[in-house]
Amino acid sequence: MTIPVMRPWLGEDEATAAAEAIASGWVAQGPRVAEFEKAFAASIGASHAVALSSCTTALHLALIVAGIQPGDEVVVPSLSFIATANAVRYVGAEPVFADVDGATQNLVPDMVEPCLTERTRAVILVDQAGIPADLDAMRILCEPRGIAIIEDAACAVGATYRGRPVGAGASLAAFSFHPRKLLTTGEGGMLITADADIAARLRRLREHGMSVSAAERHANQQPVIEQYLEVGFNYRMTDIQAAVGLVQLRKLDRMVARRRALAERYQSCLGDIPGLVTARDPAYGTTNYQGFWIVLPDGFPVSRNELMRMLAEAGVSARRGVMAAHLEPAYADRKGPQLPVTERLTSDSLILPLFHDMTHEQQDLVVSVIRGAAALDQPPARRTTLPANGPSHRREDLRTQPRSAAKARILVTGVGGRSVGAGILHSLMRADDSVRDRWEIVGTDADPFSWGLYVADHKALVPLASTPGYLERIQELIDLHELAAVLPGTEPEAALLAARRDELPVPVIANDAQLMPLMMDKQQAEAKLRELGLNFIPSYPWDRREEAVSEFGFPLVVKPSRETGGSRGVHLAISRRELEGLAPFVRTEHQPMVQPYIGDADAEYTVGVLSDKSGNVIDSIVIRRKLIGLSLLAAKNYGEGTAAISTGISQGFVVRHRAIQEFCEDLAKRLGSRGPLNIQLRVHDNNLYVFEIHPRFSGTTAIRASAGFNEPDILLRNHLWDEEFGRLNYRENLMAIRAFEHVLVPMDDTGHTPA
């Protein structure tokens, strides 16, 4: 295992955005740069943001617009990446190195004041490693003396200072989008300012001092002759970079939340090493933990370099702490005071790996090496009671139990009483003791009245999958409960979590995202089956129902074709009067469709095909469905009257049917299924007609598990422990009978259920 110190969180969305920029033909600075500037300024709450090629070039231009000239002095921390000091030399001025505060690694007025002379024109205040510096305190020192403050916020995007994003109150603040930072565009920077004239000058300076930008010239119908008003630079960002930046900016909150959770975990796992200091929030703000540094105490059994060597041997890439520019040959001639704090920090600190998709397992390895070096062999005491979660009225868990070492803790979502998630819970908690002993379950739902919340070991409320913040909440729960896997229990959650699985640090036990359109959009399912040469029951859009009537007659099935699966919203019409009577109940936003009811009510099957994470079929199981409404209907020979398709899902017969199984297993292979796949079909004249495909667990999951076909358990073991499975040897010729269960829990004194 090689654990990098940082890995940018880039995915398909960034790749698509970059490709779109390229396809647009505008690859240099253009409309996407303008859009990125606007979005970035809005996210900070700043008036103007000017995109540049790097933070280094942003610092250079900041010093120019601050009027810094040859012969001036600029106070900077030596403890910073060398670009901070270099930028001062670019304008011919002299960097004067001040020492820093040990807790934040930032400049503070007490350290800066002794460095001020009559030649001091500016201070570059660095938010080192993402910990905000105290800007207000520095202003009290500098403003009365007419000394400009330039904030080097290279590392600090997403950090906050006195309740606002870092940079919000700065007159000039420079950000970096280098890949070591949270938000990356490959290379890139941004300079924000409150002053419109300064912003206009910065835009000129980044583009050779040109009076008219390329974008303005392009927009003009008439030829435009530009002028070069002063000596400028080529410090432009490209539109390809900005396209990536726009996607990254939308992910920033999640990046910060994830880093903060991982940092907190480091703090709690290393907190008992005597004297060890770690990066932390200052009293007046929050860090984004761009760099998670630790400072080794005096008397630590091994040196910093020795510890880095031990980490490297374990496959962990750490970095020395922040460099000190005054110790580098380029600044051998520097002036200024002694820098004892800087020298101690740079020699005794190191930066630990921290990246968005870092797993707890990876973090545990880093921790174990450090604890080993500290001669603390035992892992730190683990939490046995869970911290509070959710927007709750009463926060303790009803059924929190000490965590057994043998159990893996997993999340099952959407555990309402009639949901697929409830079927997963049944399978893992009720089917058989050996399964029960493997898993400790956190159940989630949006509805505090969900049965599964009160049956699972722990519970949490989450918003609906369609709500912004859903994924963040799942991420938060993963951290909070130290979860090993997530099992989505509703279709929207399965679709979302499968599509975003790369953003989560633990496996999502759901089929491939590419199969999700088969269940979310029945027209796509139909097209796919036809492409494979199979019979899909023909369908007509609701507003062309007359064609279905004239081609097939009754009965006809009316159901949504989009965004809702299972038996929800499914109606049966056995006459024209009933068909038209359904009109008020048909939800047009779900694009209803009309299908003939091919075959008879006793020839309907739900087939589960289980494939492992590599796509190998493990086994399949057939439930012949018992559809109450249709059986009665059949008995009445489709006469006039009211009929309904029963939800049917929790009752039926577990049977063997080789031909159906072979057909469905073959279909699973051809679709590339890698998880649970449910196929609903009817048999008519020895032909199989598929009418639904659901690449998720099913309403019959719990029935199957009771028969020994325990899909959630098997997939969890396959994903988490790489176990491989052959045929499952489950029981058959069983009748599954639906039962109800209620849960009674005490209300709290506000009359709410505790959740």
Ligand X SMILES: Cc1ncc(COP(=O)(O)O)c(C=O)c1O
Residues known to be catalytic = 181
Residue of 186, 154, 204, 176 lying closest to 54 (CA atoms): 176
Q: Which stretch binds ligand X (CB under 6 A): 173-181, 252-260, 326-334, 556-564?
A: 173-181
Q: What is the dihedral of CA 387, 393, 394, 399, to 10 degrees?
A: -80
Least Å from the CB of residue 116 to ligand X: 21
Verify binding: residue 176, ligand X, rule CB under 6 A.
yes
C-alpha 56/C-alpha 63 separation (Å) is 11
User: Tokens 């995202």 label which residue?
Assistant: 513
Within residues 18-37, the interface with ligand X by CB under 6 A covers: none
Contacts of 685 (CB under 8 A, 6+ apart): none
User: Tokens 């002095």 label which residue?
Assistant: 73
Strands (E), 226-375: 277-278, 285-286, 292-295, 319-320, 349-352
Question: Binding residue for ligand X (CB under 6 A) from 29, 78, 80, 104?
Answer: 80
Least Å from the CB of residue 81 to ligand X: 4
Environment class of residue 563 by beta-carbon count within 10 Å: exposed (0-12), middle (13-18) or buried (19+)? Answer: middle
Pull the structure tokens for residue 94. Answer: 């002299």
Contacts of 175 (CB under 8 A, 6+ apart): 55, 58, 153, 154, 156, 157, 167, 181, 189, 190, 191, 192
C-alpha 151/C-alpha 97 separation (Å) is 16
Least Å from the CB of residue 188 to ligand X: 7
Residue 55 or 192 with smaller CB distance to ligand X? 55
Pull the structure tokens for residue 89. Answer: 């030399």
Residue of 295, 324, 344 lying closest to 97 (CA atoms): 324
Residue 74 or 572 with smaller CB distance to ligand X? 74
Least Å from the CB of residue 180 to ligand X: 6
Give yes or no for a contact between 409 and 506, defined as CB atoms under 8 angstroms apart: no
Strands (E), 315-396: 319-320, 349-352
| Amino acid identity at 629 | G
User: Tokens 């820098």 label which residue?
Assistant: 339
Q: Which stretch binds ligand X (CB under 6 A): 76-84, 384-392, 713-721, 736-744?
A: 76-84
Cα 299 to chain centroid, rounded: 40
Question: Binding residue for ligand X (CB under 6 A) from 26, 40, 81, 605?
Answer: 81
Pull the structure tokens for residue 626. Answer: 């018992």
Cα 705 to chain centroid, rounded: 31
Helical residues (DSSP H) of 169-303, grouped into ranges: 196-205, 214-219, 239-270
Q: Which stretch binds ligand X (CB under 6 A): 149-157, 347-355, 524-532, 549-557?
A: 149-157
Least Å from the CB of residue 152 to ligand X: 5
Q: How far is CA 639 from CA 93, 214, 451, 626, 635, in A?
A: 95, 75, 39, 20, 9
Give yes or no for a contact between 513 and 501, defined as CB atoms under 8 angstroms apart: yes
Residue 176 or 444 with smaller CB distance to ligand X? 176
Neighbours of 637 (CB within 10 A): 6
Pull the structure tokens for residue 259. Answer: 């880093």
Residue 180 or 280 with smaller CB distance to ligand X? 180
Helix (H) or strand (E) holding 716: helix 711-721
Question: Binding residue for ligand X (CB under 6 A) from 68, 83, 496, 520?
Answer: 83
Within residues 152-171, the interface with ligand X by CB under 6 A covers: 152, 154-155
Least Å from the CB of residue 110 to ligand X: 21
Q: Which stretch binds ligand X (CB under 6 A): 148-156, 431-439, 506-514, 728-736?
A: 148-156
Residue 51 or 621 with smaller CB distance to ligand X? 51
Pull the structure tokens for residue 380. Answer: 């730190």
> SS3 for 422?
helix
Residue 83 or 690 with smaller CB distance to ligand X? 83
In the sheet where 164-165 sits, what is the strand order? 164-165, 160-161, 285-286
Least Å from the CB of residue 28 to ligand X: 19
Question: Binding residue for ligand X (CB under 6 A) from 29, 43, 78, 84?
Answer: 84
Q: How far is CA 42 from CA 36, 39, 46, 135, 244, in A?
A: 10, 5, 6, 21, 17
> SS3 for 90?
helix
Contacts of 619 (CB under 8 A, 6+ apart): 610, 709, 725, 727, 728, 730
Pull the structure tokens for residue 276. Answer: 């060890």
Least Å from the CB of residue 140 to ligand X: 23
Within residues 467-506, the interface with ligand X by CB under 6 A covers: none
Instruction: Kindly state the number of chain residues that form the binding site for ligand X, as judged by CB under 6 A.
Output: 15
Least Å from the CB of residue 63 to ligand X: 13
Least Å from the CB of residue 127 to ligand X: 8
Within residues 32-71, the interface with ligand X by CB under 6 A covers: 54-56
Q: Which residues bind ligand X (CB under 6 A)?
A: 54-56, 80-81, 83-84, 126, 152, 154-155, 176, 178, 180, 189
